[in-house]
Amino acid sequence: MTSLLWIVLPYSAFVSFVLGHVWRYRRDGFRNYTRYPEMDRSQRFGSTAFRSGVCLIVVVRLIKVFTAEPHARPSGALHVVATIVQIGGVAAASVGAVLLFLPDLIAGPSHPVITPLDRITFPALSAALLSGVIIEYDPTTVAREYRTGETLFAWFRSLCTIDPHPEAMQHAPLIYQARGLILLLTLGIWPFTRLAGIFAGPVVRLVLRAVPRGSRELDGAATRA
């Protein structure tokens, strides 16, 4: 069970995230729910706020993952800056998520849902935010312990190696295990929800705009040669 939860499940979520984005691109090109003409002003603002907030949170969390030690919290100027940025990212992502989802929750979806997974997206995001706040201010952590560093961070870093350490999560407090599973759930279902195009959509549009221009430049160079 330990290997299933903390080795097989994470890699399955990673595969689902990658292959799911390929499927979504072939299905609709990430246009559903992210085409600005079909969104009102508040949803457009929410989309931008959510995208910016999540980017800030991910960057800060990755910095903490790879700089934290099991028995030492991040400290110094880097920690202060990271904390400020994270607070701003959480605020922006929270406002953006509310603006994106609240209209559909109140009045019903203006577009048909892609899959039933869309219905659990907002609860999953809310659980991820709440669990993050709880472990960030875990009152059971003593001065010389950093439970996030010795559980979630140690486990995640090990997944990037050929020798994963599921035992880091096996003996972790329940809230840490719950947060790990919530994040895996969110990662695994992301491409199959309306959020798939939040990040991939702009990237695809930029690439599609750049490719024809690059092709023209190459054709021109070939002609001159």
Strand-pairing partners, residue 99, are none
In CATH, what number is assigned to the domain containing residue 38? 1.20.950.20
Residue percentage of the chain with pLDDT more than 90: 24
Residue 89, domain extent: 2-224
Of 63-72, 101-110, 142-151, the range with the lowest mean pLDDT is 101-110
At 83-110, the pLDDT tens digits run 889 889 989 988 988 887 776 666 655 5
- Report the domain count for the chain: 1
Residue 182 pLDDT class (50, 70, 90 cuts): very high
Q: What is the pLDDT of residue 17?
A: 95
Whether residue 168 is predicted with pLDDT greater than 50 in this model: the reply is: yes
Average per-residue pLDDT for the chain: 80
pTM score over 0.75:
yes
Whether residue 148 is predicted with pLDDT greater than 90 in this model: the reply is: no
